[in-house]
Amino acid sequence: MPGPTPEEIEQAAAALAEGRLVVFPTETVYGLGAHALDPDAVARIFAAKGRPADNPLIVHVADADAAQELVAHWPDAARNLAERFWPGPLTMVLPKSGRVPDITTGGLDSVAVRVPGHPVAQALLAAAGLPVAAPSANRSGRPSPTRVGDARADLSGRVAVYLDGGPTEVGVESTVVDLRGKPAILRPGGVARADLEAAVGPLAAASAPERSPGTRYRHYAPRAAVHLAAPDTLADRLRLLRDQGLRVAALASTENAPPGPDIVVVGDRRDAAAWARRLFALLRDLDAKGFDAVVVEELPEGGLGEAVMDRLRRAAREDRA
Ligand code: TXA
Ligand code: MG
């Protein structure tokens, strides 16, 4: 696969060391990176994204040893999960060490750490030799970018270097797990709940929103209004909206896609990974085509279905900014 040259990786690493911003691919979505221990650099992330200051960032590191330097405590569950899922789409929240500036963690005394698996992210972290704070590389509230062009469209002019690693594999963001007590999922994502439970036993109940500040905000939303529909109501929903004179598309499964124009067949209902991979790009493409609304078929919550449905529910929320 074509990717950045070693020179481009070096340029990006140098930009990070100078406190500038770099867009880079991870296996989940593209990240907007900055030197995590440099408060001025991290401030540029918040400004470029238009991100609320109390929404903490994930710090990306090359390996579990580098992660341990950022935390005050490394419990057995962290060691276990790191061995099992890193590099990969898993983020762990732990008590932070004094090295991590408050701005990086949105003022919290915990820090979120992740070792990404994408070879370009790995090369960048190795070349830079520093921890990289990186939220998804979208303007705050928009669908996360799974192609470098999506990040450019949102952030143009605010970033020093863009690294192109092609479309991302997973398509939804990492699973965020809180390990300060009994492990709990703060945000479902690229590692499925059942796989986590196979590693650390039953997870604590879904946490209150204040434990993962990012989940308070409307998120992942295209300009088009998102409507969720059960498989058997999809066609009716589409007709009702079109009867109002709106331009409406649908995202549907192989099994349930109704005939007609502007119906995108995303994948099988049971293939949530295929939906995860394509979802954000499809929402952005429908926006580019000027649709007023999109009706999306609800998926079963197993595997990556939990993350896909989480993103869709947030995109569909009424309290649109
Ligand atoms: O896959 C991903 O996680 C991507 C790639 C770039 O790594 N990053 C990403 O970052 O999705 P962002 O900023 O869009 O989402 C980070 C989530 C937010 O919901 C945030 O509130 C939560 O992680 N988070 C970060 N630090 C936290 C902390 N100390 N405590 C609780 N939640 C935290
Ligand atoms: Mg994000």
- Give tens-digit pLDDT for 252-274: 999 999 999 999 999 999 999 99
Average pLDDT, the chain: 94
What is the phi/psi pair of residue 91, to 5°?
-115, 135
Residue 80 Cβ inside 6 Å of ligand 1? The answer reads no
Whether the CB-CB separation of 31 and 137 falls below 8 Å is answered with yes
On the question of pLDDT at 215 being above 70, the answer is no
Provide DSSP, 216-256: GS--S--SSEEEEE-GGGHHHHHHHHHHTT--EEEEEETTT
Cα of 135 vs centre of ligand 1, distance in Å, is 6
pLDDT of amino acid 179: 97
C-alpha to C-alpha distance for 273 and 168, rounded to whole angstroms: 12
Residue pointed to by tokens 């209004």: 225
Cα of 21 vs centre of ligand 2, distance in Å, is 16
Q: What is the pLDDT of residues 159-206, one digit of tens each?
A: 999 999 999 999 999 999 999 999 999 999 999 999 999 999 999 875
Average pLDDT estimate for 130-150 = 96
DSSP 58: E
Residue pointed to by tokens 């789409």: 89
The percent of the chain in helix, strand and coil, each rounded to the nearest 5, is 35, 20, 45
Q: Who's near 292: CB < 8 A, 6+ residues apart?
A: 224, 225, 246, 247, 248
C-alpha to C-alpha distance for 24 and 133, rounded to whole angstroms: 12
* AA identity, residue 31: G
pTM of the predicted model as reported, rounded to 2 decimal places: 0.96
pLDDT of amino acid 220: 77
Three-state secondary structure call for residue 261:
coil
Q: Whose CA is nearest to atom 7 of ligand 1?
A: 31
Residue 305 Cβ inside 6 Å of ligand 1? The answer reads no
Q: Whose CA is nearest to atom 10 of ligand 1?
A: 135
For the record, the structure tokens of 78 come out as 């962290």
C-alpha to C-alpha distance for 170 and 14, rounded to whole angstroms: 28
21-37: string of b/e by CB count within 10 Å (b at 16+)? bbbbbbbbbbbbbbbbb
C-alpha distance from residue 56 to each of 81, 122, 210, 213, 215 (Å): 22, 22, 12, 7, 11
